[in-house]
Amino acid sequence: MAFRFTTAGESHGPGLVAIVEGMPAGLELDRAALDRDMARRQLGHGRGGRMKIETDSVEVRSGVRHGRTLGSPIALLVANRDYANWEERMNPWPVDAEIEEVHLPRPGHADLVGMQKYGFRDGRNVLERASARETAARVAAGTLARSFLSAVGVEVRSHVLQMASVRSPEPPMDLAPEAFDGVDEDPVRCLDPEASAAMVAEIDRLRKANESLGGVFEVRAFGLVPGIGSHISWEDRLDGRLAGAIASIQSIKGVSVGEAWDVAGRPGSEAHDEIFHSPERGYYRETNHAGGLEGGMTNGQPLLVRGAVKPISTMTQPLRSVDTETKQPAQALRERTDSTVVPAAAVVGEAMVCLVLARAYREKFGGDSMDDVLAAIEHYKRRIDWR
Ligand code: EPS
């Protein structure tokens, strides 16, 4: 069965659901690790009041028995604690109460076009699903993909490179996975302590000015064998899948692979990663401009992907909009909100990269059980003499 996942759920509804299909049987899952990823997504200086209400935890409803996958679809449930405060407004069934509608679409949010497209007078019918709360379900699904990848020797890490106009120094292309240890303890998940302090100060400064902040994060994956993805068809090119997956995260406006935008301005001689071979190492490279992908396939180098996050579109000092009932000028909806979600978006980026890589590994190596998967990978590594 093909590896795939879907999510369901509204931000202030009863809860979120993720269903993951196509995991092999016999994968050992660590319950604590699932909740650890959920907690990492809630971190970051600049989040709002909602994160004090939620303590996200994953409940496994199917597909796992005594800590191991069964090969059947895995259903995951993440409760919305805030639903207790929204039971009337978000009840799946009619309620005996006057419910206020949202008629003030926020520029940058899905509100207006969603109301037009789906024929709603109440913007809440759109914004509840468009909300980045949905990413909790993606991270839940991503934890399963991460467990699978970890069993095949792949590790996925992330960090924040830029917060509004504050940029950290460019990290080296050859960072080891261990360089990311402790990044979750940093208030903005930045690897550079000086830049981190400047980012925190910038969040505080702009928050006081009623502004929201965007930024840039990077996800790196280590331990990939060469040949994941394929040059054969556009749908199988891994760069395309990764870009699509990252761009599908709420608030993302740009994706890059390797030194993308910089490479575009260089001569070819400075853009590519020359190929070497030694009896000890086999094939190897001394640079990684390509970010670990050539011809839509992993080349055995670390994978480097970045996402550009726009500032959150719910503003404490709302932008100009129009009342959809009266068509008169009005200020956009004002709601409790975060100042920035860039540190959280990096964790969601990890989840999406894990899900894309797990799918591509499942396609390449098949297998109904983990033993089958591991045997297929071993065979392949021997064939291409990969160490
Ligand atoms: C969000 C608005 C805020 C965020 C929410 C996404 O929620 P609320 O309107 O309840 O304050 O906190 O993100 C989450 C709840 C989450 O878990 O990430 C939005 O409008 O997108």
10-residue mean pLDDT series, the chain (387 residues): 95 98 97 94 92 94 98 98 97 97 97 98 98 98 98 98 98 94 97 98 96 97 98 98 98 97 96 96 96 98 98 93 98 89 98 98 98 98 95
Question: Residue 27: which of 143, 123, 187 has the closest Cα?
Answer: 143
Cα(315) to centroid of ligand 1, in Å? 13
Largest Cα–Cα separation, the chain: 76
Q: Count the neighbouring beta carbons within 10 Å of the beta carbon of residue 382.
A: 9
Radius of gyration over alpha carbons of the chain, in Å? Answer: 22
With beta carbons less than 8 A apart as the criterion, state whether 225 and 377 touch.
Answer: yes
Cα separation of 140 and 20, whole Å?
10
| Cα dihedral 260/183/341/298 (nearest 10) | 30
Question: Residue 274: which of 259, 288, 254, 295 has the closest Cα?
Answer: 288
Q: Which residues contact 327 (CB under 8 A, 6 or more apart)?
A: none
With beta carbons less than 8 A apart as the criterion, state whether 210 and 313 touch.
Answer: no
Which residue's CA is the nearest one to ligand 1's atom 5? 133
Counting ligand 1 atoms within 8 A of each CB, the residue from 131, 309, 341 with the most, and so the one to mutate, is 131
Cα separation of 196 and 46, whole Å?
13
With beta carbons less than 8 A apart as the criterion, state whether 69 and 63 touch.
Answer: yes
What one-letter code names the amino acid at 106?
Answer: R
Write the DSSP symbol of residue 318: P
Q: Which residues contact 194 (CB under 8 A, 6 or more apart)?
A: none
Which residue's CA is the nearest one to ligand 1's atom 16? 133
Cα separation of 346 and 199, whole Å?
15
Which residue's CA is the nearest one to ligand 1's atom 15? 133
Q: Please state the atom number of ligand 1 nearest to the C-alpha of residue 12.
A: 10
Q: Please state the atom number of ligand 1 nearest to the C-alpha of residue 135.
A: 18
Where does ligand 1 bind, in terms of residues with CB under 6 Å? 11, 48, 50, 54, 82, 131-133, 135-136, 314, 335-338
pLDDT of residue 336: 81
With beta carbons less than 8 A apart as the criterion, state whether 42 and 53 touch.
Answer: no
pLDDT of residue 173: 87
Question: Residue 133: which of 288, 266, 16 has the closest Cα?
Answer: 16
Which residue's CA is the nearest one to ligand 1's atom 17? 133
Cα separation of 330 and 224, whole Å?
52
